[in-house]
Structure 1
Amino acid sequence: MGDIPTVNQKTEREAHVSIEMVNSITGMLRSLPALSSKCCIYRVPERLREVNLKAYKPTVVSIGPFHHGEKHLQPMEEHKLRYLQTFLNRTERSLEDYLKIVRTWEEKARHYYAETIELSSEEFVTMILVDGSFVVELLLRFYFPQLREKNDRIFHKPWMITDVSNDMMLLENQFPFFVLEGLFNLVSASIKEGNPTLLEVTHEHFKYLLKINELPKTFSNPGIKHFLDFIRNCYLSSFPRVHCESERTAIYECPPSVTKLHEAGVKFKMGTSCSLLDVKFTHGILEIPHLKIEDNTETLFRNLIAFEQCHCTDKYISHYMFLLDGMVNTSKDVDLLGQYRIITSMLGSSKEVSVLFNSICKNVISGEEFYFSTLCRDLNAYCRAPQHKWKATLKRDYCNTPWRVLSIFAGLILLVLTLIQAVCSLISVPRGP
């Protein structure tokens, strides 16, 4: 048998191990990067990703570091370089000049990402210049069709520009807006036509995804973090947030379904507001702005929700989807909204739309406050009032055509005449002595 360690030997070994552990942990603590208030680009939380992985994964192009170098996105790298070449030719600056300028943005740009980017300074600066110039050149070619080259593989191939645009709105594919602004300002002087701003060309590119027609006048470049933030702000630009502050409560109340609302006599009306979120209920009329459901609608809203879940205190888009999720349970609900032109679907069936709404809020956290609480409470109270349902049943089952109204009216007249005749008969009966 070997020697048995004494108490002193055990203590020395334990002390030695403890010192190593302290040094190791101390080193890790010292190497922690500082947290930045500029952080606004995140990886999608796993609880959201597992519901629909495809909604968050780029299909044709990587922008920024999170999907940089992925094999299935490599074919687009050649087109990025072609766009960079054209971008450089628009000004008298050299490639070296651009690299020097971009290097001054490196530290700030790194702080935009929620995790440490494991790229060297040279790799990161190169990626920023290539991806940033690609995006700016794409926006310019979209805004000015005459700038597109004859053999452009993005604009002259079916669906490619749509796929690229869809990838540009993914949370994990976002890019610091200040970098795009800097690159745009360097090259915009060479574009003599119209002298648009970066916000204007960005709006022109994304407006087919948005509910608004005009760029909000309240926008300013310093307030925009990236494209997804731009889209969210477009949706919220005309949203009555002051009104919202007075209505928010900590109580979430699920709204009745569209079918139940219809059975209770609620009238539906397509709203004219520029904001999708401006849903109103007054005097038995529920006004909901028009929503067009397309192939990319789910991807857009899932990424907006993911951004809110990661970054925003006020989760307005998430609350809007919670509201629709509660109101739309079946294809019948979708069909009713379709009858009033509140929802227009480009999908295959009403069932697909109902499935979209029923799944889009899965694993989403609504937060302590819910903007539509008052609206939901009013809708539930209206449905619980028996007189509303009786009135709706009478109108739906007995007064749904002019002929039924006339027959009921004639029946009432006949009933009144019969009662009058009966009363007259009683009056005319001779009384006994």
Structure 2
Amino acid sequence: MTESNVNEHYLIEIKEEEASVIAENNVKNQTSSGNQNEESVNIASSIRRKLPSKAPSPPSTCIYRVPDALKKLHENDFVPSLVSIGPFHHGTKNLQAMEEFKLWYLHQLLDRKPNLETKLEHIVEKIRSMEDYCRECYNEKLDHLSSEAFVEMMVVDGCFILEYYRKRKGEVPADADDPLFNISLAMSPTLTSDLVMLENQLPWRVLDCLFQLTKVPNGMYKSLSELTRSCLPIRGSMSDDHLEQTLESRHLLDNVRILSAELDKKEEIMPFWDSMPSASQLQQIGVIFQPNRNNININITFLEGVMEIAPITIQGDNPVFRNLIALEQCESGPHKYQISTYARALGDLIKSSKDVEFLMEKEIIHTSLNKEDIADFFNNICNGFATSSCCKSCWQVSLTVRQYYKQHWLQRLIVYIKHNYLYNPSSIWSVSNAIVLIIVLTVLQTIYSVLSYYKS
């Protein structure tokens, strides 16, 4: 065989080998493509099986863990120190002492036999029928609690709350040696605080069911709303509209919110909050502050230089205000930011102990704490907020106040001169100059007011 024939034969073998490799790769690609198509079909089928046949129902979640950003700043206001209610702190070691009291209160309730439906088996049956709903009320999976343990917790905790409130209001007698009502042990204020903490709630539906099953014949309170209203930290009297709104309560803390805030379902939400001047600054330009005693709601209004604020009581052992804010920060819905916005407004008005003293004189703030502590409370009230959003009604008040403050620039200048020159003179010359300047500015202010009147 010649050299050319050898080379030609070699080239033919290479081409045949390349063709074989290409064919093999094509087969592999086709197989791979087929496998991928099959996997896609399987995934699509899996997704299709999970698709719901109808629209999901509205979420029933209403009891939340407090966000870390809020809790780490004021943990004592969000973590119970005496009694655990519900699953979040169930089994906590330092709260175990109260478990004996819960069972004793349940024993007393059953032993009293307030009505024919007050039978433990009947109570358990009713609560067990709503177990799924109750679990969905919490924003965490509660798989660590068996059905038996969960239902028992709902029954024991719920009956304890009702029995405690009934004893507290005198509807049923309390034992003379009951430490929860023994003033020397001072446990009652702590217990009251624990029962309004966001992480320490039971669904309202559970409490209402237990109330009906254990209702005292011819008792003082015909409904759960009436009983809780008498025990919760709420100012003023309950209107018919508020009484009707409480039927929509989701838990005790939500009941406080409904009775404390003007829950307008059509309230618009603004994406930001603009600060107002402090109460002292506004008082210096002639703004009149008045307590709004006719309105149970947390509310602020401003009209023609008069600011009306719903009175508020702040106590060191009452964390309800911060828990109401935490509830609003956790949830979504038409009532979002009502109390948070009110807190922002008070945080603007109260910048120092001087502002606190002024608002206390006007009977807007009621407290047993010192003025410095109250000022510090409001200066830090907005720390940890997840957003600067606010409700439009209070934002509108803030806008009107800022505009009013800017329009009264002459009064602000007079106040500045009095404070820096007249009241703290460094020389006779500064005093005489200040007096002359104040007279000139006062005349200008009078002229400006007259012109504004005729222009309007």
Take 1:137 and 1:122, find their aligned partners in 2: how far apart are those partners? 22
1:270 partner amino acid: P
Change (3 A) 1:102 1:133: same
Take 1:100 and 1:275, find their aligned partners in 2: how far apart are those partners? 39
Take 1:311 and 1:159, find their aligned partners in 2: how far apart are those partners? 37
Take 1:69 and 1:355, find their aligned partners in 2: how far apart are those partners? 34
1:291 aligns to 2:304 (yes or no): no
Q: Which residue of 1 aligns with 2:256?
A: 231
Q: Which residue of 2 aligns with 1:73?
A: 95
Q: Which residue of 2 aligns with 1:318?
A: 340
Q: Report how far residue 106 of structure 1 moved.
A: 1.1
2:60 counterpart (38, 49, 62):
38
Change (3 A) 1:122 1:54: same
Q: Which residue of 1 aligns with 2:288?
A: 267
Q: Secondary structure at the match of 2:105?
A: helix
Take 1:353 and 1:26, find their aligned partners in 2: how far apart are those partners? 58
Q: Report how far residue 188 of structure 1 moved.
A: 0.9
1:188 partner amino acid: K
Q: Does the CA-based 8 Å contact 1:265-1:389 persist in structure 2?
A: no
Q: Secondary structure at the match of 1:292?
A: strand
Q: Which residue of 2 aligns with 1:198?
A: 224
Q: Report how far residue 83 of structure 1 moved.
A: 0.7
Q: Which residue of 2 aligns with 1:107?
A: 132
Q: Which residue of 1 aligns with 2:211?
A: 184
Q: Report how far residue 95 of structure 1 moved.
A: 2.7
Change (3 A) 1:359 1:83: same
1:173 counterpart (192, 195, 200):
200
1:197 partner amino acid: S
Q: Report how far residue 365 of structure 1 moved.
A: 2.1
Q: Does the CA-based 8 Å contact 1:248-1:373 persist in structure 2?
A: no
Q: Does the CA-based 8 Å contact 2:346-2:378 persist in structure 1?
A: yes
Q: Does the CA-based 8 Å contact 2:171-2:219 persist in structure 1?
A: no
Q: Secondary structure at the match of 2:61?
A: coil
Q: Which residue of 2 aligns with 1:300?
A: 320
Q: Report how far residue 204 of structure 1 moved.
A: 0.9
Take 1:37 and 1:179, find their aligned partners in 2: how far apart are those partners? 17
Take 2:128 and 2:345, find their aligned partners in 1: how far apart are those partners? 45
Q: Report how far residue 65 of structure 1 moved.
A: 0.6
Q: Which residue of 2 aligns with 1:426?
A: none
2:404 partner amino acid: Y
Change (3 A) 1:110 1:36: farther
Take 1:194 and 1:50, find their aligned partners in 2: how far apart are those partners? 41
Take 2:112 and 2:64, find their aligned partners in 1: how far apart are those partners? 33
Take 2:247 and 2:361, find their aligned partners in 1: how far apart are those partners? 42
Take 1:264 and 1:142, find their aligned partners in 2: how far apart are those partners? 48
Q: Does the CA-based 8 Å contact 2:64-2:199 persist in structure 1?
A: yes
Q: Does the CA-based 8 Å contact 1:255-1:379 persist in structure 2?
A: yes
2:351 counterpart (329, 349, 352):
329
Take 1:195 and 1:289, find their aligned partners in 2: how far apart are those partners? 28
Change (3 A) 1:160 1:251: closer
Rg larger in 1 or in 2? 2
Take 2:49 and 2:239, find their aligned partners in 1: how far apart are those partners? 49
Q: Does the CA-based 8 Å contact 2:259-2:297 persist in structure 1?
A: no
Q: What is the aligned residue count?
A: 384
Take 1:377 and 1:182, find their aligned partners in 2: how far apart are those partners? 46
1:217 aligns to 2:240 (yes or no): yes
Instruction: Give the stretch that moved more between structures: 34-43 or 374-383.
Output: 34-43
Change (3 A) 1:392 1:279: farther
Q: Secondary structure at the match of 2:289?
A: strand
Q: Secondary structure at the match of 2:222?
A: coil
Q: Which residue of 1 aligns with 2:395?
A: 373
Q: Which residue of 2 aligns with 1:130?
A: 156
Q: Does the CA-based 8 Å contact 2:272-2:388 persist in structure 1?
A: no
Q: Report how far residue 262 of structure 1 moved.
A: 2.3
Cα RMSD, aligned residues only: 3.6
TM-score (structure 2 length as normaliser): 0.73
Take 1:95 and 1:267, find their aligned partners in 2: how far apart are those partners? 58
Q: Does the CA-based 8 Å contact 2:85-2:201 persist in structure 1?
A: yes
Change (3 A) 1:29 1:51: farther
Change (3 A) 1:166 1:28: farther
Q: Which residue of 2 aligns with 1:420?
A: none
Q: Which sections of structure 2, spanning at least 5 residues, go unmatched?
A: 1-28, 423-456
1:279 partner amino acid: I
Q: Report how far residue 334 of structure 1 moved.
A: 1.5
Take 1:263 and 1:281, find their aligned partners in 2: how far apart are those partners? 16
Q: Does the CA-based 8 Å contact 2:356-2:365 persist in structure 1?
A: yes
Take 2:387 and 2:306, find their aligned partners in 1: how far apart are those partners? 29
